[in-house]
């Protein structure tokens, strides 16, 4: 599948490419309309000329239109399935291939109309070609090669047929169509850039709303949203999870002595260490200031969570290289299990928070686990 680029000349993210191809595959009304009008036009041209070639092309155009509509209907029925580039590639190829084949057949019929000396038929064919080009440019510019390729497949035979005509007005129409090719291409690319850049802007705005601007971790709002969903899953499926609440030790001194720029670098480094320590199904977020939280799935005995807490305490305590030399920070971690705090999201978060303060108050503990009765067992 092609790699498309926005006006910024950067490769589009997979999520944006998925949305663009999804827009292409959601063009069922346009597919029905174009297929119906081109079929009617092709049949009209075939009846007017009485030529076998026009009849065959009309049948081909109608059959291809039916295939396109069926493909889009089948895709719509399975559109609730999570899409990936690999899963939608067959649908994309069938639909794009149908468009190309339909355009090629229409181009051949237009060529025949222009070369058989029937001016009304040629003008009718020209009208259908221009309508197809305009519709493809307007609706299919999300994947720009499709409208550009289909336009060329229709315009090139039409131009050739017009230039071969003995009538001067028809020849001039062919000349004008040559100038129309770069216009349709530029319009298609312009519309594509508009759509792609709008999708990028929406994605960036969504990311800013749900992620911390400094560390790029999920923010407090995103964490609360995912924590609520995890509580709902626990209530319906019994799937347990744990919350780890982290507060850096000694961070205020770094801010006071070395400045906020150094403090920001420390937070960015800590965030990266958290990101590398958790699994792909886990979520790390910055709650605010020097406080972080992690939402993780648990195993039956909780060994993975306690192992993660140990690992985080050791990893975060490692030296952080700054401009003025390496520094270190500590961390206090509170752990709360959903199995012990299966009430509201705030219940388990408060339990983890209180366990974190208990670990901070006990200078020998790096982390503590909150019990169901808010009694904290010293495990580290």
Residues labelled catalytic: 290
DSSP state of 329: -
DSSP state of 1: -
CA 128, CA 54: separation in Å to the nearest integer? 15
What is the DSSP annotation of 92-127?
HHHHHHHHHHHHHHHHHHHHHHHHTT-HHHHHHHHH
Report the SS3 class of residue 297. Answer: strand
Structure token pair of residue 40: 């009617």
Phi-psi region of 117 (alpha: psi -120 to 50; beta: other; left: phi over 0): left
Neighbours of 294 (CB within 10 A): 25
Per-residue b or e along 158-190, where b marks 16 or more CB atoms closer than 10 Å to that residue's CB: bbbbbbebeeeebeebbeebeebbeebbebbbe
CA 167, CA 130: separation in Å to the nearest integer? 20
């Amino acid at each position: 599948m092609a790699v498309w680029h926005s006006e910024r000349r950067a490769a589009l993210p997979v999520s944006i490419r998925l949305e663009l191809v999804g827009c292409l595959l959601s063009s069922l009304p346009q597919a029905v309309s174009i297929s119906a009008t081109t079929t009617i036009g092709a049949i009209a041209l075939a009846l007017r000329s009485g030529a076998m070639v026009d009849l065959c092309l009309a049948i081909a155009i109608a059959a291809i239109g039916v295939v396109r509509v069926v493909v889009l209907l089948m895709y719509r029925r399975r559109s609730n399935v999570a899409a990936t580039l690999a899963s939608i590639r067959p649908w994309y190829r069938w639909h794009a291939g149908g468009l190309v084949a339909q355009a090629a057949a229409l181009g051949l019929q237009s060529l025949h109309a222009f070369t058989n000396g029937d001016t009304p038929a040629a003008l009718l064919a020209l009208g259908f070609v221009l309508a197809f080009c305009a519709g493809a440019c307007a609706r299919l510019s999300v994947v720009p090669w499709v409208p550009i390729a289909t336009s060329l497949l229709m315009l090139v035979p039409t131009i050739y047929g017009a230039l071969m005509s003995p009538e001067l007005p028809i020849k001039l129409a062919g000349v004008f169509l040559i100038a129309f090719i770069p216009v349709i291409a530029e319009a298609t690319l312009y519309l594509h850039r508009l759509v792609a850049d709008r999708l990028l802007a929406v994605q960036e705005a969504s990311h800013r709303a749900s992620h911390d601007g400094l560390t790029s971790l999920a923010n407090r709002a995103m964490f609360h949203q995912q924590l609520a969903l995890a509580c709902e899953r626990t209530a319906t499926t019994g799937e347990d999870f744990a919350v780890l609440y982290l507060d850096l030790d000694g961070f205020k001194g770094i801010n006071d002595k070395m400045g906020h720029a150094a403090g920001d670098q420390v937070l960015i480094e800590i965030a990266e260490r958290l990101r590398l320590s958790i699994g792909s199904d886990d979520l790390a977020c910055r709650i605010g200031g020097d406080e972080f939280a992690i939402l993780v799935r648990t195993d039956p005995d909780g060994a993975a969570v306690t192992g993660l807490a140990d690992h985080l305490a050791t990893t975060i305590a490692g030296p952080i290289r700054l401009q003025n030399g390496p520094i270190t920070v500590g961390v206090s971690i509170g752990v709360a299990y959903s199995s012990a705090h299966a009430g509201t999201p705030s219940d388990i978060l408060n339990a983890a928070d209180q366990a974190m303060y208990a670990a901070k108050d006990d200078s020998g503990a790096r982390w503590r686990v909150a019990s169901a009765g808010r009694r904290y067992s010293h495990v580290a």
